[in-house]
Amino acid sequence: MLNKSSLTYIIAELSANHGGQLDIALDTVRAAKRAGADAIKLQTYTADTITLDCKKPEFEIKHGTHWDGQYLHDLYKDAALPWEWHQPIMDLANELEIDCFSSPFDHSAVDFLEDLQVPAYKIASFEITDIPLIEYAASKGKPMIISTGIAGIEDIELAIDACKRMNNSDITILKCTSAYPAAPEDANLMTINDIKERFNVKSGLSDHTMGIVAPVVSVAMGATVIEKHFILDKKIGGADAHFSLDEKEFTDMVMAVREAEAVIGKVDYEMTDKKLKSREFSRSLYVVEDIKKGETFTSKNIRSIRPGFGLHPKYYSEIIGEIANQNIERGTALSFKLLDR
């Protein structure tokens, strides 16, 4: 069971932001906890489980990204989190009471993570088409979180169906834009609520935009999960450093998300004591000129003004033309007992 103490479950994605040092990875877990994350997420692969060491043109990155010119195997070899680090990272997370789970990239990673008793599985954007992997992870009965960065509607349907075939319906689909960084105009956060309604699953955001605007706005769009890349210090560098948030930025995001949750609140028309008290400053009908007994109420001697201790303004037309049954001083709250009826 994931630690779900708040409306929006916030995941700090470690990814490649470990600088090749276990101490940095552990300090990142501590920083994520301080920043207010609900979870720290890892990625479990080796260069050989995710691609081939091959120098054919199609294995070279050339899509206008930060990683252009590198071969896939070289990139993933540098970025991979050593598998022997998983246990100490998860032990620390457990000690700090922050969830820790991972994205597996093949069956062997799922088996490894099962031995570590992870509480959930995250399927990365580019693995959403790997139906056998999704089935295998879903078969473990843990919550499934799936990103949609390269997915169309059919891909999402296939991934959801794969989970359900394994009798796993605890599915969260994350709107994601697979660009690093992603442009704000490509975020299309309205998709978050559409995912929920169209596929009848929980929905959220895996965000690669710069800054914190998209995660905060996603709360208003119905996100129940937010995932954002997290780095201890951008000076560490690495494959994902350029679009990751540091501790201060992540803390600011968490605080803004929690404030967004608070202001969104719930549908509320209740007349609370606070609202009723505030109505004292609303409009009501008052006598604005001295009126003698027997005189007529007119638009000159009564008006709708603040405060709110007189009759409701809806009675204005009804009062006009009525007769005063006593002398009435200017500044008197109008009431039916002042009418000669």
Terminal-residue alpha carbon distance, the chain? 69
Q: Give the pLDDT mean for 301-319.
A: 97
Predicted confidence (pLDDT) at residue 5 exceeds the cutoff of 70: no
1: pLDDT confidence band, cut at 50, 70 and 90? very low
Average pLDDT estimate for 335-339: 97
Residue 4 has pLDDT above 70, yes or no: no
- Identify the pLDDT of residue 7: 85
Which range (176-190, 228-242, 280-294) has the least confidence? 228-242
Q: In the chain, what are the domains? A: 9-45+80-264 (3.20.20.70), 273-338 (3.90.1210.10)
β-bridge mates for residue 203, sequence order: 173
CB 202 within 8 A of CB 222: no
Q: What is the mean pLDDT of residues 181-189?
A: 93
126-140 confidence digits (pLDDT tens): 999 999 999 999 999
Q: What is the number of alpha carbons within 13 Å of residue 268 lying toward its C-beta?
A: 7
Does residue 180 surpass a pLDDT of 70? yes
CA 222 from chain center: how many Å?
7
Contact 316, 291 (CB under 8 A): no
Average pLDDT of span 194-221: 96
pLDDT score recorded for residue 195:
97
Convert 228-249 to b/e letters by CB count within 10 Å (16 or more is b): bbbbbeeebebbbbebbbbbeb
| Strand, helix or coil for residue 81 | coil
Average pLDDT along the chain: 94
Q: How far apart are the C-alpha atoms of 22 and 70, rounded to whole Å?
A: 25
**Beta bridge mates, 229:** 13
Residue-wise pLDDT for 7-52, tens only, equals 899 999 998 899 999 999 999 999 999 999 999 999 999 999 999 9
Share of the chain above pLDDT 70, in %: 97
User: Residue 274 and residue 206: Cα distance in Å, rounded?
Assistant: 39
Is the peptide bond between 307 and the residue preceding it cis, with omega within 30 degrees of 0? yes
The percentage of the chain sitting over the pLDDT mark of 90, rounded to a whole number, equals 86
Residue 62: is its pLDDT beyond 90? no
